[in-house]
Amino acid sequence: MTALEPAEWGVLAAILTMAAVTYGMRAGGFWLMQHVPLTPRLRRMLEALPGSVVVAAVLPIVVRDGLAAALAIAAAGAVMLVLRNDLAAVLAGMMVAASVRAFGM
């Protein structure tokens, strides 16, 4: 095994720093929430948070890819609501996106 080059030390330091910061953020969040009273309002906010994350992830895709992405995501969402099957929802979304793009929309 060879010794690390000076440039590799910087990469290693960056990786270790990012790992420490990530751990600190996660552990800090758990620590902080132990000291926050869980009111009904806060509980409702925390329950709504996953939906906000999904919207934040999906909206840029719709804005970038337009009608095809919007229809594909709507189809996948509808199939997921009806069938509760992840694979069927993904396949439906892919079929709609491919169809819309095939027809030049």
Kindly list the domain boundaries of the chain, sorted by start residue.
Answer: 1-36, 41-105
pLDDT band at 5 (very low <50, low <70, confident <90, very high): confident
Contacts (Cβ under 8 Å, ≥6 apart) of 4? 12
| pLDDT, tens digit, 9 for 90 and up, residues 53-95 | 888 989 999 999 999 999 999 999 999 999 999 999 999 999 9
- When the pLDDT of each residue in the chain is averaged and rounded to a whole number, the result is 90
The pLDDT, as a whole number, for residue 2 is: 67
Which has the closest alpha carbon to 86: 94, 48, 99, 98? 94
